[in-house]
Amino acid sequence: MRKRMIAGNWKMNKTYAEAVTLAQDLSVALKENPADSVDVVVCPPMVDLKGVAGVREFDNAPFEVGAQNVYWEASGAYTGETSCDMLTAVGATYCIIGHSERRGYFGETDEDINKKAKALMAAGIVPISCCGEPLEVREAGTHVEFVVDQIKKDTEGLEITDPSKYVIAYEPIWAIGTGKTATAEDAQEVCGAIRKTLVEIFGQETADGIRVLYGGSAKPENVAGFLDKEDVDGARVGGASLVADSFNAMIQKAAE
Ligand code: PGA
């Protein structure tokens, strides 16, 4: 019912030429081993978007291209920011919002994330909206409440007509880039609570169509365990998405 998704977040890695090469390598790998049952998304840095989207177009490569951030205003005096229309114009069809690195280092709030989601959806770009608890919250045992609260704030007032066009990524902060993964059971506990919250907000049918991804040191060796879980519909991948072979290995596991 929900199509699995593997989404790569390249973060602040890859110059333009390196990004194009990685996109080409991924395109070749996916053509050799088609994984049509999986939605594949790559999210390069802003300045690499056009090059990666160009590979997609030229090669007819089986992946979509996403940005890692956006600003909700349409245009104007917002130095350093990028609008939804600008993303569309260079071929981005997805956009990560609310990554814990943006929340933590750049002060992004749930209110900002909510505005970004609304702007993206109005522009026809699919948000991949992130949530997840820090270590001290996990240790205090209040992680479910913490994430449910984020979901309520981040989705406030959203109108979701096509649930396949709004994606959530649960990424416990203590597991991001640390090599420490949550167990598949940890992921299911929170992703299940997210689904329940979505049912309360949007109703069963819509909630059943929204993909919830797990992220945080996901790699070829552990991805299958997460994907086996009822409410985990895919993975958001940082480090392991920077090499075509490991990213493709995860896509192939998701296609099994
Ligand atoms: P990681 O990053 O896979 O390197 O832990 C995940 C993410 O932040 O998207």
* Segment 220-237, tens digit of pLDDT: 999 999 999 999 999 999
Which residue's CA is the closest to the ligand 1 atom numbered 9?
A: 238
Higher pLDDT among residues 176 and 255, named by residue? 255
- Dihedral pair phi/psi, residue 219, rounded to 5°: -150, 175
**11-29 pLDDT, tens digit each:** 999 999 999 999 999 999 9
Which tens digits make up the pLDDT trace of 156-177? Answer: 999 999 999 999 999 999 988 7
Name the catalytic one among 99, 101, 108, 133. Answer: 99
Beta bridge partners of 235: 6, 214
Q: How confident is the model at residue 242 (pLDDT cuts 50, 70, 90)?
A: very high
Instruction: State how far the Cα of 60 lies from the Cα of 107, in Å rounded to an integer.
Output: 38
Closest Cα to atom 3, ligand 1: which residue?
Answer: 238
Tokens at residue 181, please?
């993964």
For the chain, give the percent of residues with pLDDT over 90.
95
Answer for the pair 151, 193: CB distance below 8 angstroms, yes or no. Answer: no
DSSP state of 108: -
Query: Cα–Cα distances in Å, from 152 out to 15, 99, 200?
Result: 37, 16, 10
* Position 180 pLDDT exceeds 80: no
Alpha helices by DSSP H, listed for 33-168, are 49-59, 84-89, 100-106, 110-122, 135-140, 143-154
Query: Do the bridges between strand 94-97 and strand 126-131 make them parallel or antiparallel, or are there none, so unpaired?
Result: parallel
Query: What type of residue is 24?
Result: Q
Instruction: Report the C-alpha gap between 224 and 218 in whole angstroms.
Output: 10
Q: Which residues line ligand 1 (CB under 6 A)?
A: 9, 171, 176-177, 215-218, 236-239
Q: What is the pLDDT of residue 100?
A: 96
Angle ∠(33,128,125) on CA atoms, nearest 5: 90
Our mutation pick for probing the ligand 1 site, out of 174, 217, 226, 247, counting the most ligand atoms within 8 A of Cβ, is 217
Segment 99-154, tens digit of pLDDT:
999 999 999 999 999 999 999 999 999 999 999 999 999 999 999 999 999 999 99
**Average pLDDT over every residue of 58-72:** 97
Distance CA 197, CA 151 (A): 8
pLDDT (tens digit per residue) in 31-55: 999 999 999 999 999 999 999 999 9
Residue 210 CA, ligand 1 centroid: distance in Å: 21
pTM for this predicted structure? 0.97
Counting ligand 1 atoms within 8 A of each CB, the residue from 13, 171, 222 with the most, and so the one to mutate, is: 171
